[in-house]
Structure 1
Amino acid sequence: MISAARQETLMAVILITGGARSGKSTRAEARARSFPGQPVYIATAEALDTEMEARIATHRARRGTDWIEREVPLDLVPALVATDDGGARLVDCLTLWLSNLMHAQRDWEGGVKALAGALPRLKSPVVLVTNEVGLGIVPDNALARSFRDAAGIMNQTIAAAADEVEFVVAGLPMKLK
């Protein structure tokens, strides 16, 4: 439930989670568009190969041209601060951001804590997309287990800071918080 102070300013922090191809991004886009102002799409993905280039192109085509776009693979908190006090921001997605931080050997735990601490201080709505990666089998290698564990910690931390949390399955959102 959004606090009374946030309702007055239309501020909200919304976390949308689910599995791969569950409909998370489409749901997040609709939620971000529901707020006044021009929405800002903060992309954490990098087009490092042709398959990712195609995925990014598909997302852009679906969204249309009414979004302000920012590509932010690592420095998410400064990007949220820089785009504050306007339309809603959609961050797609936190698990790619986490992967980027880990690959760059950055302090992912500090980054997650900084994000969770910054969210309540922002003026404009934020819709965050993340993957729920811990629902399957236990990975057979240490790197995959480390990422799964880090994603679980990140998702719990951001969910605690969020006003609303939705779990999307087969395109259907379920309100968790």
Structure 2
Amino acid sequence: MTLVLGGARSGKSSYAEGLVEAQAGPWLYVATAQAWDDEMRVRIAEHRARRAAPWKTIDAPRDLPGAIRGAEPGRPVLVDCLTLWLTNAMLDDGADLAAETGALLAACADAAGPLVLVSNEVGFGIVPENALARRFRDEAGRLHQRLGALADRVVLVVAGLPMTLKGDHP
């Protein structure tokens, strides 16, 4: 398992796609974004346009553990991105965030093939002014710590440059 972290437009998604494409396909792209507005629809379209066959895309804005567990054994899986999944969970009034995070960690640990996870590193900025944003930043940081401990490799992408924090550089 590889965890790829980076800021907005850091190049983390392209880097993660390259990691997966270096393996034999077909590849599975698990998308967590939801197109709530026109700007997000454009972002989703840009991501999809970068990928051609043998990529298969499934949308899993909420049941990310199920998508990971449902992947064909041995098939490389790319999840993009964890912070959108976390946002979706936090905005769901009925969500048990601790249980869902635990299920995600278990699914990642049990993945039946290569798994690359992409997430936004949001902890480098200022302390947000509102409680929801502070909670999001804190939950993302805790999720990254737990996944970083579980991952075989952790890469931070800054200005399109990958820096390996844990494990071997591919």
- Specify if TM > 0.5: yes
Q: 1:37 aligned to 2:30?
A: no
Q: Match for residue 10 of structure 1?
A: none
| Whole-angstrom CA distance in 1 between matches of 2:72 and 2:103 | 16
| 4+ long deviations beyond 4 Å | none
Residue 169 of structure 1 aligns with an amino acid whose one-letter code is V
Q: Match for residue 176 of structure 1?
A: 165
Q: Among 99, 102, 108, which residue is 1:113 paired with?
A: 102
**Unaligned stretches of 5+ residues in structure 1:** 1-12
Instruction: Report the CA distance between 1:144 and its aligned residue.
Output: 0.7
Q: Match for residue 21 of structure 1?
A: 9
User: Is the Cα–Cα contact under 8 Å of residues 77 and 114 in structure 2 kept in the other structure?
Assistant: yes
Residue 172 of structure 1 aligns with an amino acid whose one-letter code is L
Instruction: Report the CA distance between 1:33 and its aligned residue.
Output: 1.1
Q: Match for residue 163 of structure 1?
A: 152
**Unaligned stretches of 5+ residues in structure 2:** none
Q: Match for residue 3 of structure 1?
A: none
Over the residues paired in the alignment, what is the CA RMSD in angstroms? 1.0
Measured against aligned partners, the alpha-carbon deviations of 1:13-36 in whole angstroms (never above 9, x if no partner) come to: 000001000000000000111122
| Whole-angstrom CA distance in 2 between matches of 1:18 and 1:114 | 24
Instruction: Report the CA distance between 1:51 and its aligned residue.
Output: 0.4
Instruction: Report the CA distance between 1:108 and its aligned residue.
Output: 1.8
TM-score w.r.t. structure 2 length? 0.93
User: Is the Cα–Cα contact under 8 Å of residues 93 and 130 in structure 1 kept in the other structure?
Assistant: yes
| Whole-angstrom CA distance in 2 between matches of 1:110 and 1:91 | 19
Q: Among 145, 148, 170, which residue is 2:137 paired with?
A: 148
TM-score w.r.t. structure 1 length? 0.90
Higher mean alpha-carbon deviation, 25-34 vs 118-127, is at: 118-127
Instruction: Report the CA distance between 1:85 and its aligned residue.
Output: 0.5
Q: Match for residue 83 of structure 2?
A: 95
Aligned residues: 165
* Percentage of pairs with the same residue: 52
